[in-house]
Amino acid sequence: MFDLLVKNARDIKGNALEIGINSGKIIDLSESLQGQAKEVFDAKGAYVSAGWIDSHVHCFEKMDLYYDYPDEIGVATGVTTVIDAGSSGEGNIKNFYALAKKAKTNVFALLNISKNGIVTQDELSDLSLIDEAKNIARIKELPDFIVGIKARMSKTVIGQNGIIPLQMAKKLQSKVKLPLMVHIGSAPPKLEDVLQELEAGDIVTHCFNGKENGILATDGEIKDFALKAYRQGIVFDIGHGTDSFNFKVAQVAREEEVSAQSISTDIYIRNRKNGPVYDLATTLSKLLKVGYSLEELISAVTTAPAKNFDLKNKGSLEVGKDGDLTFFKLEDKQEILVDSNENIQQSEQILTPVACTVAGVLYQESEKK
């Protein structure tokens, strides 16, 4: 007896796949599954993957600058897990947790090293807001919620502090042994100085931004130090955002065999409603246009973020993993895709989520408000 039996789905290679879920976990997978079930979902030939993980979002609804609602960017758009990337810090993350645990979508957080997260744009301009002991205490207090730490290393954020906040983040990381996500943008600090501080496994978000201080040199090639960082195992994450995804940078990188390992949106209410982000599927469709295969795209929102943030029960379709699934179609549709710099491309195909499950609970697109 299954709690939920998924019929007539296909894996991303196109093979028939049926899935049984019990008590929130995947308990059986095969090309044809029979048996009693409390609920049957007919996927009608849609693709199924492990539930999509968007590893850079802003969904602490009580914030003023960057905020959204977990389920609006989560289960309503085929995303089963979101990781809030530093909206809050040790001073306010408990309030965020109290709200986040009510969501249908799985919500995790990266702790901003600055006390109150992104209350103002320049959260790392005052070093007295970075308190290592309090950061460590908070991380110990919320081990199932805080899955990493976040430092935003760009001009408007750091004030006169140069690389110091990043060094403080690295020091904290060495004590708490958690993944570190670093946001890059305009200098100072110089991208080269940021990458210098990082090690394999550290995550650089906004990797394909179109700014002067990005990975692309003026001669149109990837800067040597960026290539070196990539080859050393520093994780390149999309973090599309209002300001931080450029088609040309993504294309040149691709030609030089630099691909984003994880694909995230940096979504919040304004770039969701007004674009250019809209949702994770739209970001995936943009990378499809750049030439990423379906397998690469899905890995970048499942296995890769699960590995990057050590989400052990998520990210793959296997017996024993959480019953988080995303169902989607690949549709032949010519749509206008716009990057963060108003460059336009036309799609040949787009990804369209049709439903998802979180711990075996089904959410369909028709329920979208």
The CA–CA distances, whole Å, from 65 to 56, 68, 70, 118 equal 16, 10, 16, 7
Tell whether 266 is in a known binding site. yes
- Considering the complex, state which of residue 54 and residue 322 has its C-beta at the smaller distance from Zn ion: 54
- Letters for 146-175 (x = contact with Zn ion by CB under 5 A, - = none) are ------------------------------
Q: What contacts 169, CB < 8 A, 6 or more positions away?
A: 113, 149, 150, 151, 180, 182
- Residue 54 in contact with Zn ion, rule: CB under 5 A: no
Report the sign of the C-alpha dihedral through residues 93, 129, 140, 144, in that order: positive
Total of residues contacting Zn ion (CB under 5 A): 2
CB of 21 to Zn ion, least distance (A): 32
The CA–CA distances, whole Å, from 154 to 160, 204, 257 equal 11, 12, 26
- Considering the complex, state which of residue 206 and residue 289 has its C-beta at the smaller distance from Zn ion: 206
CB of 183 to Zn ion, least distance (A): 6
CB of 340 to Zn ion, least distance (A): 12
CB of 56 to Zn ion, least distance (A): 6
Half-sphere exposure of 272 (CA within 13 A, CB side): 22
Tell whether 240 is in a known binding site. no
- Considering the complex, state which of residue 19 and residue 85 has its C-beta at the smaller distance from Zn ion: 85
CB of 158 to Zn ion, least distance (A): 15
DSSP letter for each residue of 226-280: HHHHHHTTPEEE---TTT---HHHHHHHHHTT---SB----B-HHHHHSSS---H
The C-alpha atoms of residue 1 and residue 28 are separated, in whole angstroms, by 11
Q: Which of 119, 49, 52 minimizes the C-alpha distance to 264?
A: 52
Residue 98: is it exposed, middle or buried by C-beta count within 10 angstroms (0-12/13-18/19+)? Answer: exposed
Q: From 81-89, 126-134, 155-163, 279-287, give the range in contact with Zn ion by CB under 5 A.
A: 81-89
Q: Find the binding residues for Zn ion in span 214-273 (CB under 5 A).
A: 266
Residue 104: is it exposed, middle or buried by C-beta count within 10 angstroms (0-12/13-18/19+)? Answer: middle
CB of 228 to Zn ion, least distance (A): 25
Contact 241, 211 (CB under 8 A): no
- Considering the complex, state which of residue 316 and residue 341 has its C-beta at the smaller distance from Zn ion: 341
- Residue 84 in contact with Zn ion, rule: CB under 5 A: no
Q: From 79-87, 164-172, 210-218, 344-352, give the range in contact with Zn ion by CB under 5 A.
A: 79-87
Helix (H) or strand (E) holding 281: helix 280-290
- Residue 123 in contact with Zn ion, rule: CB under 5 A: no
For residue 52, what are the β-bridge partners? 79
- Considering the complex, state which of residue 183 and residue 321 has its C-beta at the smaller distance from Zn ion: 183
- Considering the complex, state which of residue 85 and residue 253 has its C-beta at the smaller distance from Zn ion: 85
Q: From 47-55, 82-90, 190-198, 303-311, give the range in contact with Zn ion by CB under 5 A.
A: 82-90
Contact 183, 202 (CB under 8 A): no
- Considering the complex, state which of residue 266 and residue 324 has its C-beta at the smaller distance from Zn ion: 266
CB of 23 to Zn ion, least distance (A): 35
Half-sphere exposure of 49 (CA within 13 A, CB side): 26
> By the criterion CB under 5 A, which residues form the site for Zn ion?
85, 266
> Residues forming the annotated binding site for Zn(2+)?
56, 58, 150, 183, 206, 266
> Residues forming the annotated binding site?
56, 58, 150, 183, 206, 266
